[in-house]
Amino acid sequence: MQHVELIARSIAGGATNQGDTMTTILVTGATGDTGRPTVKELLKKGFKTRALARREDDRSQELAALGAEIVYGDMMSLRDIRLAMDGVRRAYFCFPLAEGLVEAGVIFAQAAREQHVEHIVNLSHKQSRSHARSKATQNHWLSEQVFDWSGTPTTHLRITFFAEWLLYISSQIQRGRYAMPYNRESRFAPLAAADIAKIVANILEKPKGHGGQAYQLHGPKEYSHEELAAEVSRVLGVDLPYEHVTVSVFLERLGLENQTALRRHFEAVAIDQQEGRLAGLDDIGVKIIGGPLMTVEDFINANRTHFVLEA
């Protein structure tokens, strides 16, 4: 992995001047589901936004064209993160579902402490706890502790399932199938990444009162998996009966059959779901962003081309 290369992008028509343009905010996972819209939200607010990505691609080029400062680096490299953190006042920490989360958290917390960062928003799991069945979820809990020990004010966002799970199976939905590796009665309230981004950006804009908080966040309406399949069917106008498959079959259909860590995580989450650990509702997100959250119908309509085969 290459070391961080700072690439300043001065693009006419980029960020507006609504926010504190003297404050630089670092967004990790900047080309991912929550990172990319977070960068866009911060640019709208007028912040100098530094986006950390692993490599240059169409997504990073899009963010650069919008006015973000793009940096390329490895979250497992202290040198890279120190360089990416230079001059940063606030930051969003988002790590993929992969090995290395705790080490990356330690590196990020150390670099933030050296830079006297004012506030960090940390993306975590709703079921985060010390005795989690999933190693990935347990590592999120451990990373929360690391940030708290560091002394840098941090907000932990404990998120239920993303609405983006529907995109993960969109190719199946196109073919008239709706299969998930979870019990049909297990409940959750899907939360769109776009809304997570708004929550992150608003906290980073006005962090006062959010330090030391761990927010359990949900979408606007709770469904069982079977009820969600019915809602998707209604919006798309097709018949999509819910199909419960094993985790192994689910990953195989996604071409991820060799991803052992994912299989173990999803198997653990299936039990978490049966125990109700991802269920619930809240009004925290609505209060933070000052408006309603995206419904499942809104999400499907915004991404309809992913669910419908071209004629």
pLDDT in tens, 119-162: 999 999 999 999 999 999 999 999 999 999 999 999 999 999 99
State the Cα–Cα distance between residues 15 and 67, nearest whole angstrom.
Answer: 6
Q: Which two tokens stand for residue 174?
A: 């196109």
Confidence label for 25 from pLDDT (cuts 50, 70 and 90): very high
Can you give the pLDDT at residue 166?
A: 97
Instruction: Give pLDDT tens digits for 100-128.
Output: 999 999 999 999 999 999 999 999 999 99
In angstroms, the CA 285 to CA 174 distance is 31
Q: Indicate the pTM of the whole model.
A: 0.92
**Would you give the DSSP letter of residue 311?**
-
Over 60: is that where the pLDDT of 227 sits? yes
Q: How far does CA 46 lie from the centroid of its chain?
A: 22
What average pLDDT does the segment 79-94 reach? Answer: 98
What is the share, in percent, of the chain residues with pLDDT greater than 70? 93
Residue 216 to residue 160: CA distance in whole angstroms: 8
pLDDT score, position 88:
98
pLDDT at 20: 60
Q: Residue 80, exposed/middle/buried by CB under 10 A (0-12, 13-18, 19+)?
A: buried
Vertex 211: Cα angle to 39 and 189 (nearest 5): 65
